[in-house]
Amino acid sequence: MTRHTFVAGAGDDLRLDTLVARRLDLSRTAAATLIANGNVTIAGRREKASFRPQPGDSIEVEIPPPETREILGEKIDLAVVHEDDSVLVVDKPAGMVVHPAPGNWSGTLVNALLGREGRDADGVADRAGIVHRLDKETSGLLVVAKTERSQRLLGAAIAEHRVTRRYAVMVWGHLDSDRLTVDRPIARDPNDRKRMAIVSTGRAARTDFVRLARYGAGDLLRAQLHTGRTHQIRVHLASVGKPVMGDDVYGGGGGRKLAALPPRRHFLHAAWLRFRHPETGELLDLRSPLPPELHRSLAAIAEDPGILGIADPLADLGFYAEAE
């Protein structure tokens, strides 16, 4: 059990759940749960989440240990794009969570990897060699290290920007020009801890965008990450008023019928991955065509059913040009 004590200030005219969330860097839901469970007291007494502490009130918060579970391997089919003794690259489907966590203890990519290897989590921890991540509803290429050495080397390569990660993304509206760089820091949204936001004190984040096609409702872009912050592409595009189509969290969730997108799916796909093999130095150039639901969405947005007959419309649109 971890204990925190703080004093409400003169400027803290906030509900108790909001104040606890801000002071302890928690989501408001997590703070409300602590209050409901009796883990938050004011001068020794319990109050409701809606209570507004007065300046000078001493607030004590007890945070129980995080919930942990044994991470079990599961027999889940994975689309393997590349595999050798050191590196595995999978094509993650939309809807699959990468790491187990409360609410998602099974069916994750880690569960699938552990099941595929026929081993439990001992010795590989709950990350199972994953060196970067994709959001739940983002599909595409993801690298997994199969040895401790390759995990260390690949992690360093990503930190030093020697891994090229490019995404296909459809946005509502149109960019002012064919190229855009967004270089804005990202951190947890101070008003909603489940979201990320542009925050001046956040971590540096840069994304380059190139327009591949302009349609009536929006633009198809190629996005290249220079950093790997949580929800980076989605936050950066929302910050310039061009949210990702289908993104319910950052303002792009409307118009699903027009975009022919299934529920909860946003148009963001990790389509191109280039990096040097950590052991051999060989350049790996790996590509993933749009999955069927995004292929259909592209045809609907472009109002061109002929796109459905093209095996990889991204190639036709120049997505793989200008390789570094």
Residues with catalytic function: 135
Measured CA to CA, the distance from residue 70 to residue 114 in angstroms comes to: 12
**CA angle, 135 as apex, 131 and 140 as ends, to 5°?**
75
Which residues, including other chains, have CB under 8 Å from residue 43's CB and lie 6 or more apart? 57, 58
Taking residue 104's Cβ as centre, other Cβ atoms within 10 Å add up to: 15
How many residues are given for the chain?
Answer: 324
Distance of CA 161 to the CA centre of its chain: 18
- H helices of 125-208, in order, are 148-159
CA distances from 64 to 39, 104, 215, 308 (A): 8, 20, 51, 52
The DSSP code sequence of 191-222 is TEEEEEEE-TTSB--EEEEEEEEE-SSEEEEE
- H helices of the chain, in order, are 16-24, 28-36, 109-117, 148-159, 232-239, 256-259, 292-302, 313-316
CA distances from 112 to 68, 96, 142 (A): 18, 10, 13
CB 274 within 8 A of CB 283: yes
CA distances from 293 to 57, 218, 302, 315 (A): 54, 18, 14, 17
